[in-house]
Structure 1
């Protein structure tokens, strides 16, 4: 009986560890293979690199990261409240005053990449932030159809020097 336990317990541990490890790898693989928006908050590292600090309490939140040799972009969509919008814009380095009414700053190609339909009417406002030094450039577009809960669309791009 003792010999059986000496073999069974470590074997069980190995099976459980392997399953947990495989599950972790599968979720990372699914995220990397995603071709559209991922329903979750971007990681804290992504929010920091791309300067897209999604306000707490925002829901739903979607994101997609596109990586290439010369540039990487983070696409983020989230619904927030007035406080969240003001704080997000402040953290991003701008303000609500910089939003231009009727302006959709995200290009059609960028919107199509993640399935956003930004051209179909609505109350839009947007602004663009140019990169300073190694920081990201951002295109921010906000839908104010529900002014108490605006939907924020951001494409933040980091360009790498060749």
Structure 2
């Protein structure tokens, strides 16, 4: 009799643990779906960091400690684009450019490389009273090409605007 009660208790615990695991997994899956739906229905810059996977695919290595990070992704059968903006430090800018395959000396002062169409997509403007510098990092497909524009008006806190474009 005692053996049967123990067996019944073990079975009940196993069923309870399995059911609990199933319910937790279902809720996590549902939450993930809602997050993905919200992200895909976004119509402008989202005030958060892009996922590590997006940063890796689009080769946008945002330096740690960056602030005011926002991004937006567009995708169609022909191209995918990741728009990212962030504020960093002078050394953070150097790290970002180096990890992007460029350097500060490659920045062309007085110019921007983000096109008007791309800027309009996310509501960016590049007024002439700012200290702009820009470069384009070009790669062979399928690696992304990155148009990088930097506002150096405050050299201690440069604002970076990036459009990373891939062709699948």
Unaligned 5+ residue runs, structure 2? 1-11
Match of 1:152 in 2: 160
Aligned-pair CA distance for 1:132: 2.4
Larger Rg: 2
Give 3-state SS (helix, strand or coil) of 1:97's partner: helix
Give 1:23 shift: 2.4
Once the two structures are superposed, residues 84-114 of structure 1 have per-residue CA deviations (whole angstroms, 9 ceiling, x without a partner) of: 1001000000000000111111011101101
Residue 87 of structure 1 pairs with residue 95 of structure 2: yes
TM-score by length of 1: 0.86
TM-score by length of 2: 0.83
Q: Deviations over 1:67-86 (max 9, x none)?
A: 11011011000000011100
Q: Deviations over 1:15-55 (max 9, x none)?
A: 66544432221111101111111111111111111111000
Whether 2:63 is the aligned partner of 1:55: answer yes
RMSD: 2.3
Question: In structure 1, what is the equivalent of residue 104 of structure 2?
Answer: 96
Q: Secondary structure at the match of 1:53?
A: coil
- Unaligned regions of 5+ residues in structure 1, if any? 1-5
Which residue of 110, 113, 117 corresponds with 2:118? 110
**Are positions 1:127 and 2:135 aligned together?**
yes
